[in-house]
Chain A
């Protein structure tokens, strides 16, 4: 199809980039409407990171005297919050279509499925950003965490890059489970292992050596390192430095995106050929 009708506005949209931008806008708009129609669904995504953080604060107890120590925790908790919603968005993006019977219409849209899923995941990850802010506010008010950032612009850059990497990782996961009716549940099971492997609440150096390759493979590991380096005075972490962390993060994110698009192309073609996507 050389010409394409805009999904949300009805205007004709030409060009590779503008067509996809139009789709992303329409999907995110729909996601936002679904969210505001039934906002209770944000609770399952917030509750796990929130309770994990609360338990961590209790465990820290008397040790939680230094503000940099608390900031370390709060930043990790923020990442957990973002990850919780990303994983929910990626795992259930197709599952909910199955539940609601809208999968066929979604598949029939003249745009690759991957772009529709990207829109959904980006919205959910943005929602996760709200979780992160909520946890930060709780940290600042309830636990009296000082929030003096070492370098605010670098902190902002690292946060944005981490946000993109989480969305990209979510896209890979969604591509892996898209054919399965168990998709949402499988990705949900990834929630806590990723908290552990990315060092959200403790340095990855204390993990067993067997777990380290997984930790290094996960882009959010580098993201949280860069965030902490730009936020906490005297933070050392892995020791690779801010720009190296950001470089590895960018490389891995690009890798995730490449893998995700390739997988989606193959999976979508396979599902259409075999008629298995609707399987419930």
Chain B
């Protein structure tokens, strides 16, 4: 193996790209348990409809106007991607611990950012598929109209939200380096977004002290932008919201990387890579 310490920036960048590519493809292969048709069907077809159905029927029971039910349906269609974007990504390090492969992964000289983002990136595609399935249900079963929708805008929102949410997954994954598992934190975060991210009701309905937390989650911007895109807003109109979402995603990624480096050092010092 080449000693990357002696390489210049362009070569190091190309090496990192190769690591990213390898990790991206491994991102699917490494999902030993998940990689089968029934698991894909379960994630893409069942997860979104179950979640959308729960909150939509609750709204129908409460005799809310159709517009409110559709607001809830759209929010949940996008949030259902979190199972993949947050939960699956957060568990990358924990899964490595279970399988006994974390120490070997951590001793490789490969670029950490390229390695872990590469592995997580596969989930962006899956998340986008889940959200798309959710929107298909929204139109077919709950009467959400796409007549004036900006489809390019919808596609951009879905893709950007998927990418931004994996940064949260990676941040939680860093916790899994040091703790026995990231599953607990991932579970909490996954469901807390249902409450905080404007999925079921506007953020303004939350108590004032909670609202700043909402705006640290990329999904909050995503749900706002998606509703705007379905209503027909142009890309230009969506740009400010999408810009904030992208910035949020990058900031979370930077914090996640700092956390990852910190926990990596701590785990090396305390020998907790093996603990699960």
Contacts and interface: CB of A to CB of B under 8 A. Distances in A.
Contacts of A54: 195
Contacts of A192: 47, 50-51, 54
A206 B51 contact: no
Contacts of B38: 182, 186
Contacts of B42: 185-186, 189
A115 B61 CA distance: 41
A127 B201 CA distance: 31
Interface string A218-254: 0000000000000000000000000000000000000
A181 interface: yes
Interface stretch (A40-48, A147-155, A166-174): A40-48
Interface of chain B, helix or strand or loop or mixed?
A: helix
Given A43-B184, A52-B194, A182-B39, A196 B33 contact: no
Interface stretch (A7-15, A23-31, A57-65, A260-268): A57-65
B46 interface: yes
Contacts of B36: 182
A52 B64 CA distance: 18
Interface string B89-104: 0000000001000000
Interface string B171-200: 000000000100110011001101100001
B270 interface: no
The 3 tightest CB contacts between A and B, nearest first, are A202-B61, A192-B50, A51-B191
Interface of B: 32-34, 36, 38-39, 42-43, 46-47, 50-51, 53-55, 57-62, 64, 98, 180, 183-184, 187-188, 191-192, 194-195, 200-201, 205
Interface of A: 38, 40-41, 43-44, 47-48, 50-52, 54-56, 58-60, 63, 99, 181-182, 185-186, 189, 192-193, 195-196, 201-203, 206-207, 280
